[in-house]
Structure 1
Amino acid sequence: MAAAIRYGERHAGLTGTNPSVSTLVVRFDEGGPRIVGRGVTALGGRPHAETVALAEAGELARGATAYVTLEPCAHHGRTPPCAEALVAAGITRVVSAAADPDPRVDGKGHAILRTGGIEVVPGVMAAEAARSLSGYLTRHRLNRPEVTLKMALSADGMIGARGRGQVAITGAVANAQTHLVRARSDAILVGVGTVLEDDPALTCRLPGLTERSPMRIVVDPRLDTPVSARLAEEARAIPTHLVASSHADEERRRALREAGFDFFAAEPDEKGRVALPELLDDLGARGVSTILVEGGAALARSFLEDDLVDRLTLVVAPCTVGEDGVRGPIGLAEASERFYLTREVRFGDDRWYEFERKEG
């Protein structure tokens, strides 16, 4: 199952509204266990992992065991349910990890397998699989995407400097890790202040992974994003959306649309800010499962104040910014009180800390 979970990471962020699930078909012959079929949810979400693995295994699937990282689907769509495909292929035992909260599945997939005479062993490494599939599971549980807030902090707690544009805080190794996180995300979100101050591209720029750049979203109620922004350079190739008020200037909207931008509607909250819960609800309804929030300070503070951060990544560098710095909305001490520390690692001279929400 551990191998299946690792294999499922292959298409993380690339399977549309479906999760990146994997299936291993294993025969237990005289020579020991042997993988005869492997499958991962295809790009865009179809076909499912079970279908791919069974096709590779062919007749060797008969009498074999299937390891699946998520309960096989039970509903009819453009293709028959994966649970029925496992029965038809002659699989005799299914070992599954995470339960599927989709009401069309939720226990029904296992029921089809048992009715078809297959032995079902559920819940094997369920927590590990759920961590890998957490975006999909969060979207079904909370009707919104899973939110990861990532910030780089200087040794004196700053995330940037006023009036100096983009300030390099972390080194090359940590920056490469940030691009890996982008490649695994459905969308990356920043505030318009970051666009005006830093003019970022918000793409994945690692060799071989450039095509895995996520959807880009800018919270920009008044449509202050310049048509000359770097985001416009690839706005037609990479879906790029501005979260704008209905009262925003129509000429600005028209010019930005011609530059390749699209728009999400913004609703104000009681403080006059963009209502983030409603925005996340809309994105969840569109099938977005994971969002990486990268800046800046005001937007990050809003996500924290609204209790919308599921995962927090703080990258602490040894450099200092000084008195003109923009202080981060959360530091290591407060993060340790509000979240569980799940990972700590060094990348070059920088320390990378990952936290998860404390439930209950």
Structure 2
Amino acid sequence: MIGTDFVPSAYSNSVAKGKITWKSPSNIALVKYWGKKENQIPANPSVSFTLDTCATTTTVTYRKLEEEGKDYSFDLFFEGEPKESFRPKILTFFKRVEHYLPFLKSYHFTIDTSNSFPHSSGIASSASGMSALALCLMSIEKELQPEMDPGHFNRKASFLARLGSGSACRSIEGDLMQWGLHKDTQGSSNEYAIKYPFPVHDVFKNYQDTILLVDKGQKQVSSTVGHDLMHGHPFAEQRFLQAHANLTKLQDVFAQGDLNGFIEIVESEALTLHAMMMTSLPYFILMKPHTLEIINKIWAFRERTNTHVCFTLDAGANVHVLYPESEQEIVYQFIKNELVAYCENGQYICDTIGYGAKKM
């Protein structure tokens, strides 16, 4: 499917008012997407674990206006308080998706959103937040077009979420999601994410992710700026080829339960992401000294114990510690004994692999 497939025909129903709530999770990429083209199209494909605990809950209350407005009509609240600083991002999102949701100017919306994790924690909330909002808007469209099938609903929700935040398209479903055209994945798309279509060994079910909050401050460089710096980057093309190759390699890794192969790809991907930041112009470093201390501690512990704990990173200093459920007891004890000391105010979040957004 392509974007034009998501432009609706005339709505078959009329709705005066209503209220809808969705809870949508964050996700953590295993093969990273870094660099994008126009209209939020990724420069390379990615695959992610959908999370469970780290989530955004969004309620949209809507009422039809007496006549269609010239602009978008909405009030925005974050955890019960007005949040004007979020308004420009929502306006940009509405402008991008209006072609696909032609009812937007016909309603007034009250958007009330909250996170299950502290807003200042350094956990990116754009994936969970934009996917939750996209799902609420899709539920309104489902009211207007009751014959819509569930498959189309999810694909379009992912498509819309992508226009708000690229990685948000991977938060609609779970537990493994793939986004971006990939020659070895039939049905893959740059327009929306798909459920990972290949066999996955049981060892990867219920995988654990403990997120160590190393630095909760504002990033010195936003992800949007970082993505843009991939244009003209001296190593960009090689990086994009690497991501494609790693996605292909993961097919055997996931099917065979190859934990060592998984570790090699996931950690390499995390370090490559940050290598791209350090070699762009202007260059920047988002890792902190404590990030590196944690990585070295993980490597030493893994060698000492023959466990399969590994790390990945987002575009920031925080560390996602990944490990199979069968090793939860020993790894969690290690985290408490040796790693929590490197977290800001000793803060960390215990999460696990989830299965996508839920209508509340």
> Normalising TM by the smaller chain, what interval?
under 0.3
Larger RCO (CA within 8 A; separation ≥ 6): 2
Determine which structure has more spread, i.e. the larger CA radius of gyration. Answer: 1
Normalised TM-score (structure 2): 0.25
